[in-house]
Amino acid sequence: MSVPDYMQCAEDHQTVLVVVQPVGIVPEDQFFKIYKRIASVSQVSIRDSQRLLYIRFRHHYLPENNEWGDFQTHRKVVGLVSVTSCTSAKEWPQTSDRFHAQKEVFGSTLYDSRLLVFGLQGEIAEQQRTDVAFYPGYDECPDVEKRVEDFVQSIFIVLESKRLDRATDKSGDKIPLLCVPFEKKDFVGLDTDSRHYKKRCQGRMRKHVGDLCLQAGMLQDALVHYHMAVELLRGVNDFLWLGAALEGLCSASVIFHYPGGTAGKTAGRKPSVSQPAEAGKRHRPGAQEVLIDPGALTAGGISADTSSEIGRAKNCLSPEDIIEKYKEAISYYGKYKNAGVIELEACVKAVRVLAIQKRAMEASEFLQNAVYINLGQLSEEEKIQRYSILSELYELIGFHRKSAFFKRVAAMQCVAPTIPEPGWRACYKLLLETLPGYSLSLDPKDFSKGTHRGWAAVQMRLLHELVYASRRMGNPGLSVRHLSFLLQTMLDFLSDQEKKEVTQSLENYTSKCPGGMDVITLPDGLKLLPVPFTKLPIVKSVKLLNLPVSLRPHKVKGLLGQSMSTASPFIYSPIIMHNRGEERCKKIDFQWVQGDVCEVQLMVYNPMPFELRVENMGLLTSGVEFESLPAALSLPAESGLYPVTLVGIPRTAGNITINGYHTSVFGVTSDCLLEALPSVKTSGCLVEVIPSVPRLQLSTSLPRSAHAAQASSKEELSSSVSVQLFNGESQQLIITLENIGTEDIQTLEVTSKTANTKEKLFGEFLSWELEEAVSQLPLKPGQAVTLCVSIQAKLDFSGQESLVQDLNDDGISVTGLPISSPLRQVLKPRAEAKLLGSESSKNDYNHVKTLEAVLNFKYSGGAGKVEGYYRDLSLGVHVDVEPSVFFTRVSTLPATSTRQCHLLLDVFNSTEHELTVSAKNNQDLVLHASECQRMAIQVDKFDFESLPQPDQETVRYANPKQLEEDKQRAQGCQINSTLGIHWTIPSLRRHGVASVEGVLNQLVLEHLQLAPLQWDVVVNGKPCDCDVIADCKVGDAVPLEVKLTNRSRSAVGPFALTVVPFQDYQNGVQNYDLQDAVTFIGSNTFYIDTVNPKDNSICVGALLFLYTGDFYLSIKFQDDSGGRELPLAWFGLPSVHVKALDTPLEAGA
């Protein structure tokens, strides 16, 4: 016997073997259809008995195996069912002959046979025969199962008769010696009368009767016979049959302990009626065997005495003993080379029993023994079967990797070089079945969780074999999928050389069949999921980028409440549940805009030892219609983190989710989803897309700035310009605003914000007129509008006096005064002053100061405007202010008029160029580089009371110090606008203004202020002020009028004024004794009553000059006047100069 039956199990020992074979030409599908129906009758309840007969059907059985039927009766073919097709009566004789010829093959062992004839009708078919059944067709045979049962009943009758014959044979007849095929030649010439020979015959017959009892359903009798056979055969060292007796004992015990069977079939066998269920429960491992009483056997098989039946039940082996006896039996089989098949099958049976007992380690020992059993020259098909069964058995006991090993050996055997037509499909199918044993799944998701499971080297070898088998099957798509899987999941275990080889192979395959994201379904229904290349390149983080500063949309503040989340009533909750899924779905706090290019930044790196070319890399999104703009990139070998920006355009408004990205690497297209990449860091992938808003592009007439504006510490600038100005200089900035979007610009607002600076800024830094630009709205796409912005840098012009040496009044040139000194300065240094040539003083005067501001353009239009969105465009203005002129000292001199004074300014030229300073109605002052000169400007005093006053509310809540500063600022602004001081640098053709606002101190302001009480003196009808000389004639009455105008906020007076005439001899002597030269008409004292605010009062008198000459009138207040509590400056009356002339002679006198 050379072909083992690997499907055998211990309970097969109680079955009878029936072969079902076709006779003649029978369609294969029809045969197996009938075969399945026949095989369904696997157990039959015997009539008039409580016993069951188990049948094992086979459609193919080697006759040489039948020769071992005496050794183990379940190997003997006792029944034959032939299936044939016969359509006419003419064919019947030939069919009948073939049936008889088929019976001859198994004739020596057959108990009974049946022939099922399909298709024959007529006279022959109507004959009533027990061994032949006629059916019109394969689909018209309702009683096949019934006939098979009847057939089995007849087999049982023969079986039972044989059992009774052997069991009750107590005559003195000689017991025949049962032999296996290879023993027959060894027993030729033996002494058949020896005691040893007779014991051998008895032992073998006992064992044979045990087999028959087991088949006939008499388990207890079988156990007794097996025990007796073991004792007999052990005494004569008949090891082969001793092994068979022990195996029979094991099989009977297994049937007793495990009525459900050991084959692992879903439908277990029904427990035999002859074995009480309680017996199985009573029995415990290690139960002692009782002595056997051979006399207890009766003709009926088992005595009616129940007590003896219980005793016989104890002849059953315990589960532990079953295995020990199996080991012993197998060791005896191992002594015979020709019993290899028997030994192998015994090992398989023992393993199945151990699997039920969950004794995996012992089962593996049996299997290891089975591996090394030599069965001689096996065909390739038999080798495949052997390795496959070993694999299944290892799987049965939980040795998954060992199972996978033998399954892989079977797969390799399918394509052995000795096979003329290698079975690559079978090889591939078997290789797929090995995957679980090597902890290998074809789902790439299983490799993204935790540490790697299994032996990577073995897994890579297996994947390579799958790739090769796929290619030999002629399925390149399958090869690409497996190779992609190898590269993706085993990348960390591949050497640099292996990475190159695998990628080259992959490129070769994909050139013929590109890889994609389709699910590949194999013929057996297995689905191969797509393998996205998430490691080529490896993505470490995904960050959605906000739009550029100039394109970011903003919500109108009044509308913010509409979009606020109402998910929680609490402002803050410390109990916040975090998980990565929620984090990914978290909405980002900025918006994208429909129709604008949006960016997502990926931080990637290339793990390959060579340059990685990634083609067609783009975004995968959901939520809104999105146009992805794929990119191609080339990453250097082992690049480290490398930023990659993927872009796209949302075409509709709504919420968009970035689900992942797609790539094409080595010809394989991959869709990489972020939810499958838990290691990727992201701050959120959900962002709102608002309706489209316009886009404005800004260009300027000034160059772009290289400075990072300080004003952008909290806000980013769209762009910035830079300009260098001298202090006081102005520059025009022409801004062109072009609509480069697709929506009309309907609104435009411009604001500015000057950066906080320690420098004091005077006047408007930036100014513009927006009316003309607004009049051109709405601005269509492609149209532009210009805006002129004036930049004026007016910082403090005051300089420390100590930094410039004093000007000597003797040699100074004072512009505006009639002094004919040469235009030069005489330097007379002070002891405590720093020299002008020292580095520190130069640095102080040459220090470049910086002014910065932001121009903000707020605009909106289109569908976004309806939703309350607008855009901001910010232009940073950076101005480097170089010093031009400094006013180092300021003072005043009284003028001849009480309503005027002289303002004296020491002007210092801090530039390196010649500079001209001019004021209104004044001569130009030319200053060389680093030169200082004094400038005198005659100005009318200022009526500060006429300036706008803060309202009571402001006065009540404002800081008094701040109010005073605001007041001084307003006064300085009025003075500065009146003076109109300008400077010009002719060589550079640059000019600007110079402001005295920062240099005026309180004392100077008081000197420049017009007194609240305004005094006007009129002599002889002529106002006397500013060196005005009033003419009069000697002897004529000269009217004198004094007018008081009250500009203060309160009533003043009454006042008493005394007019005192005198003469000035211009040598320091003044003569007040003029009673003979000047007389008053009336009193020389004037009385002015109380004058209310904004009112005036006039008092009138007269003088009479008696002599010619120059006379002066000094108007003084009497000491007892009620106005002495008022400031002295309020009583600045003008001096009066009167020239008395002779009376012209009359004509003819």
Question: Between 252 and 306, whose confidence is greater?
Answer: 252
**In 10 A of CB 291, how many CB atoms?**
7
Per-residue pLDDT at 153 exceeds 90? yes
Per-residue model confidence as pLDDT tens digits over 366-417: 999 988 888 878 888 888 999 999 999 999 999 999 999 999 999 999 999 8
24: left (phi over 0), alpha (psi -120 to 50) or beta: left
Give pLDDT, residue 388: 92
pLDDT at residue 1076, as a whole number: 81
Q: What percent of the chain has pLDDT over 70?
A: 83
Q: What percent of the chain has pLDDT over 90?
A: 35
- Using CA atoms, how far apart are residues 430 and 387, in angstroms rounded to an integer? 11
Minimum mean pLDDT range among 181-185, 625-629, 984-988: 181-185
Q: Give Cβ neighbours of residue 547 (< 8 Å, ≥ 6 apart).
A: 553, 590, 592, 593, 596, 598
pLDDT, mean of residues 293-319:
49
| pLDDT score for 574 | 55
Average pLDDT over residues 741-753: 88
pLDDT at 396: 92
| Cβ pair 1057, 1118 in contact under 8 A | yes
Q: How confident is the model at residue 1128 (pLDDT cuts 50, 70, 90)?
A: low
pLDDT on residue 927: 85
Long-range contacts of 270-276 (CB under 8 A, 24+ apart): 270/43, 270/52, 272/51, 272/52, 272/217, 272/219, 273/50, 273/51, 273/52, 273/217, 274/50, 274/51, 274/217, 274/218, 274/219, 274/220, 274/302, 275/219, 275/220, 275/313, 276/313
Overall average pLDDT of the 1115-1133 stretch = 64
Distance in angstroms (rounded) separating the CA atoms of residues 694 and 689: 15
DSSP state of 439: T
| Three-class SS state of 174 | coil
| 3-state SS, one letter per residue, for 941-988 | CECHHHCCCCCHHHHHHCCHHHHHHHHHHHHHHHHHHHHCCEEEECCC
- The answer on pLDDT for 828 being more than 50 is no
pLDDT of residue 309: 41
The residue among 169 and 74 whose pLDDT is bigger is 74
Residue 622: burial class (beta carbons within 10 Å; 0-12, 13-18, 19+): exposed
Does the pLDDT of residue 483 top 90, yes or no?
yes
pLDDT in the model for residue 920: 79
Q: What is the DSSP letter of 127?
A: S
DSSP class of residue 779 equals B
More confident residue, 330 or 299: 330
pLDDT tens digits, 1-32: 668 888 889 999 999 999 999 999 999 999 99
Q: List pLDDT tens digits, range 551-604.
A: 889 888 765 444 444 445 555 555 544 444 445 567 888 899 999 999 999 999
d(CA 165, CA 173): 13
Q: What is the pLDDT of residue 620?
A: 93
Q: Are 1029 and 1006 in contact (CB under 8 A)?
A: no
Q: Shortest CA distance to 806 belongs to which of 934, 997, 998, 935?
A: 934
**pLDDT tens digit string along 192-202?**
778 888 899 99
pLDDT (tens digit, 9 = 90+) per residue, 686-717?
999 999 999 888 888 888 776 655 544 446 77
Sheet with 1022-1023: list strands edge to edge: 1022-1023, 1013-1019, 1037-1046, 1096-1105, 1078-1081
- Which of 539-548, 573-582, 749-758 has the weakest average pLDDT? 573-582
State the average pLDDT over residues 797-822. 44
- Average pLDDT estimate for 636-652: 90
Q: What is the pLDDT of residues 1008-1027, one digit of tens each?
A: 777 777 778 888 877 877 67
> Are the CB atoms for 72 and 109 separated by under 8 Å?
no
Average pLDDT on 428-451 reads 87
Short-list 499, 485, 395, CA closest to 441: 485
Q: How many CB atoms lie within 10 A of CB 707?
A: 15
pLDDT level of residue 776 (50, 70, 90 thresholds): confident
| Token pair for 910 | 């801090």
Q: What residues form DSSP beta bridges with 520? A: 528
Which of the two residues, 613 and 1146, has the higher pLDDT score? 613
The reply to whether omega before 63 is within 30° of 0 (cis) is: no
Nearest to 547 by CA among 689, 652, 659: 689
pLDDT > 60? residue 473 = yes
> What is the C-alpha to C-alpha distance for residues 613 and 666, in angstroms, rounded to an integer?
8
Are 210 and 225 in contact by the 8 Å Cβ rule? The answer is yes
Higher pLDDT, 967 or 206: 206
Rounded mean pLDDT, 1128-1143: 76
Convert the pLDDT of each residue in 135-152 to its tens digit: 999 998 899 999 999 999
Between residues 838 and 42, the one the model is more confident about: 42
Average pLDDT over residues 1112-1139: 69
- pLDDT of 362 above 70: yes
- From residue 501, give the alpha-carbon distance in Å to each of 495, 506, 1140: 10, 9, 126
- Main-chain phi, psi angles of 34, to 5 degrees: -70, -40
880: nearest Cα among 921, 845, 850, 923: 850
- DSSP per-residue letters across 915-931: EEEE-TTS--EEE-TT-
Question: Is the per-residue pLDDT at 506 higher than 90?
Answer: yes
pLDDT digits (tens, 9 = 90+) for 1072-1118: 888 888 888 877 787 877 888 778 888 888 888 888 888 888 887 76
Mean pLDDT value across residues 971-986: 79
Residue 221 burial (10 A CB sphere; 0-12, 13-18, 19+)? buried
- Cα 382 from Cα 103, distance rounded (Å): 27
pLDDT of 1129 > 80? The answer is no
* Region 427-445 average pLDDT: 90
Confidence class for position 1042, pLDDT limits 50, 70, 90: confident
Reported confidence tier of residue 794, pLDDT bands at 50, 70, 90: confident
Per the document, the length of the chain is 1149
Q: How far apart are CA 694 and CA 595, in angstroms?
A: 10
- Measured CA to CA, the distance from residue 661 to residue 602 in angstroms comes to 10
Mean pLDDT of the chain: 81
Three-state DSSP state, 336: coil
Q: How confident is the model at residue 458 (pLDDT cuts 50, 70, 90)?
A: very high
pLDDT at 808: 40
Rounded to 5 degrees, φ, ψ at 419 are -85, 125
Task: For residues 646 and 80, give the distance between their C-alpha atoms in angstroms, rounded to a whole number.
Answer: 76
Look up tokens 């910010």; give the residue. 874
Q: How confident is the model over 1018-1038, as a mean pLDDT?
A: 80
3-state secondary structure labels for all residues of 459-522: HHHHHHHHHHHHHHCCCHHHHHHHHHHHHHHCHHHCCHHHHHHHHHHHHHHHHHCCECCCCEEC
- What is the per-residue pLDDT for 1112? 83
Helix count and strand count (H, E) for the chain:
25, 47
Sign of CA dihedral 1063, 1068, 1072, 1073: negative
Task: State phi, psi for 1027 to the nearest 5 degrees.
Answer: 60, 25
- Name the pLDDT band for 170 (thresholds 50, 70, 90): low
Render pLDDT for 40-84 as a digit per residue (tens, 0 to 9). 999 999 988 889 999 999 999 988 888 899 999 999 999 999 999
Residue 821: the pLDDT is 32
Encoded tokens for 1041? 């009028």
**Nearest by Cα to 327 from 363, 359, 361:** 363
Closest alpha carbon to 407 in 381, 427, 380, 382: 427
The rounded distance, in Å, linking the Cα atoms of 1083 and 458 is: 136
pLDDT, mean of residues 978-984: 83
Does the predicted TM-score (pTM) go above 0.75?
Answer: no
Which residues are within 8 A (CB) of 1143 and not within 5 positions of it... i.e. 6 or more apart? 1033, 1034, 1035, 1036
Range from 440-454, 465-479, 500-514 carrying the lowest mean pLDDT: 440-454
**Cα-only R_g, the chain:** 62
Distance, in Å, from the CA atom of 982 to the CA atom of 764, rounded to the nearest integer, reads 17
State residue 1082's pLDDT score. 79
Please determine, for residue 172, whether its predicted confidence score (pLDDT) is greater than 60: no
CB burial string 948-968: b at 16+ within 10 A, e below: eeeeeeeeeeeeeeeeeeeeb
**Segment among 94-98, 1011-1015, 1121-1125 with least mean pLDDT:** 1121-1125
